[in-house]
A and B are shown apart, each in its own frame.
Chain A
Amino acid sequence: MELTRRSAIALGAGAAAVAALPISALASVDDAIAAFTGGADMGDAGIDLTTPEIAENGNTVPISVDAPGATAVMILATGNPTPGVCTFEFGPLAATQMASTRIRLAGTQDVVAIAKMADGSFARASNTVKVTIGGCGG
């Protein structure tokens, strides 16, 4: 992920003491999830992923994630050639476990966020973001 000044500021505002770590291209979404969770079961409570339903511009789609108590949140764009987007890590001094950034989406796809909680459990959220050519609303 390329960190522009704008997204860096957005990150700074949303979450104290956060590092956004680029993750290298992984063979598949499943591999990325397995590597992050170690194959553990994932719940669906405790993580909120906010995305637009339809992207206004697929090249820069604002997303945000809020996972109270998380130590790390991994973001995946499942339909991109390189699904890995980033992993936010939250240190013990982080006041909130929220982060926001902008990502590029190659087309309509599910964006997935997986939170690793302090107790070692995992929670998953997934939203479909539509990337459309648009132009006929009236």
Chain B
Amino acid sequence: MISRRDFLQASVAASAIVGASGVGNWAKLAAQQTLTQDDLLGFDTYGNITLVHVTDIHGQLKPIYFREPEINLGIGDVNGLPPHVTGADFLKMFNMTAGTPEAYALTYQDFSALAKGYGKMGGLDRVATILNAIRSDRPDALLLDGGDTWHGSYTCFKTDAQDMVNVMNALKPDAMTSHWEFTLGHDRVNEIVDELPFAFLGANIFDNEWDEPAYEPYKMFERGGAKVAVIGQAFPYLPIANPNWMFPGLSFGVREERMREVVAEVRDAGADLVVVLSHNGFDVDRKMASQVDGIDVVLTGHTHDALPEPVMVNNTMLIASGSNGKFVTRLDLDVQNGQLLGFRHKLIPVFSDVIEADKDVAAVIDAERAPYEAEMSEVLGQTDSLLYRRGNFNGTWDDLICNALIDEREADIALSPGFRWGPSLTPGDKITREDVFNATSMSYPNAYRSEMTGETLHVILEDVADNLFNPDPYYQQGGDMVRVGGMGYHIDVSKPQGSRITNMTLLKTGEAIDPAKSYVVSGWASVNEGTEGPPIWDVVESYIKRQGTISIDPNKSVKVTGA
């Protein structure tokens, strides 16, 4: 662990540019035990350019609870560096106090209790209020959406994301990039993009037959007397992490050389400021920023990290704005003659009980939800436990899903993907159909039931572990570890692929998993075309209805070493 002082020296203070972030304001507010909209939105307008960043909203139109991770390991060079800092270490690094609004927003400790006090966060009508305030200071502020917007809720599923498109259009973004968008299918994406009143960018999206760019790589904006180039970088591993049969003609990839070329192209075209609107994931962005010169700002996405200060890599500033609508980043920049001279940054927490809803956008949201309100508000049961997903190895939402798969599908072992999206529910909350969709909504939801040998299970766990814990970020895909029900294991994250996973144990008998023996395995979200089985939300709904009240025991079946 590095201390906060070391971190500042390694990041903000060491840079040639000067800046200030909003974290000090938060700490002061906490001391005063007050939290008002004016405080949250207060910002001394600075320089000549304002960037506003939202990312990984995952279909969340309304305020939600979202518990940040307890376990978020960094491997190799990034061990102990943000965002691989959680809980008390996070508070110490950023000079925050437990129990305060910022501790609630940014860490996991005492989440259930603090959630009662500070309430839900997010809601795109609240985001609209923040945007209105920023635009009254700086009318031509650029709103940039990092993607994973057209996915993740009941209404988004039912409308093929038209709800998100309509609400985001009301917020008037200037550009976006993408990931889960493509799980709508290539044709649906193009249908939306054709009508989109702003730029859909992806410098790393190529036609895979002719190896030609498939979407606009960048857009140039004139702001504050300067030319601002916004380069889009879509999620590099879409055809691997998601079903490639849904967008068979496209190729993605990190494509570092392509980024170098596009940066050179926009600089040649006179860009004074180069911004990468990225869905790489934080560690991939950190490596890319260290390898590619000429990028001023990377607006990171995909890994759902929220950081109250920029992280500097050489002369590039990395911004992390969280997920699910919990945060909006405002970044004011002073750019003169192609030089970034200074910045002022604030990660604005969207406390939904403090920030008033914008009436116009609230009306758009209500209109999108109204046709589905009755069916999605149906109560299926309630939870005695905090239900959350984020964390490298397990979350109680996935424990619930795995329990449902084992029970409803009569399986020995259940597998649930290590997604990072999905809001939380607090103890005592009702579980509605909408809540289940918030944790499961997708276009390939079939819950399969099949036989796998112990050896196959080991290969799967090793493969996914390497996607998370490969020491080279370019080989990471950015999800968390696949969640396992009915089976325990040990993992040494410091080992190479093939030797991280040991001691696989069938929990119901306590016996070691036999590589040669077959086990009945149920899971969901297979990337294989033609996967058969009921949608996962039906499996989970049936289980919750039968249980009535959900109670999740602490999951002690994964032992982690090497971190």
Contacts and interface: CB of A to CB of B under 8 A. Distances in A.
Contact of A136 (B211, B239, B254, B467): B467
Interface in A41-92: 50, 52-54, 56-57, 62
B537 interface: no
Nearest to A135: B527
B420 A138 contact: yes
Given A53-B475, A130-B475, A132-B463, A138 B418 contact: yes
Contacts of B257: 50
Contacts of A52: 253-254
Contacts of A134: 237, 240-241, 463, 467, 477, 527
B253 A136 contact: no
A39 interface: no
Given A10-B211, A138-B241, A108 B417 contact: no
A120 to B, nearest CB: 29
A93 interface: no
A136 B241 contact: yes
Nearest to B206: A62
A3 B477 CA distance: 32
Interface size class of B (residues with CB under 8 A): 35 or more
B211 A56 contact: no
B418 A136 contact: yes
A128 to B, nearest CB: 8
A102 to B, nearest CB: 10
A85 to B, nearest CB: 19
A50 to B, nearest CB: 6
A10 B241 CA distance: 27
Contacts of A54: 237, 240, 253, 475, 477
Interface in B427-485: 459-460, 463-464, 466-467, 470, 472, 474-475, 477-480, 482
B557 to A, nearest CB: 18
Interface in B198-252: 208-209, 211, 235-242, 244, 251-252
B482 A136 contact: yes
Contacts of A62: 211, 251
Contact of A56 (B253, B477, B479): B253
Given A137-B241, A137-B467, A53 B482 contact: no
A122 to B, nearest CB: 23
Contacts of A53: 236, 253-254, 472, 474-475
A11 to B, nearest CB: 13
A35 interface: no
Contact of B209 (A6, A57, A138): A6
A56 B420 contact: no
B417 A138 contact: yes
A53 B420 CA distance: 23
B336 interface: no
B147 to A, nearest CB: 13
Nearest to B56: A138
Contacts of A133: 459-460, 463
Contacts of A56: 208, 239-240, 244, 251-253
B525 interface: yes
Contacts of B421: 138
Given A108-B497, A132-B463, A134-B463, 8 more contacts: A52-B254, A53-B253, A54-B237, A54-B475, A56-B244, A134-B237, A135-B240, A136-B417
Interface of B: 208-209, 211, 235-242, 244, 251-254, 257, 417-421, 459-460, 463-464, 466-467, 470, 472, 474-475, 477-480, 482, 497, 525-527
- Give the 10 A-B CB pairs with smallest separation, nearest first: A137-B241, A138-B419, A134-B240, A56-B239, A135-B527, A138-B479, A137-B477, A136-B417, A53-B474, A137-B479
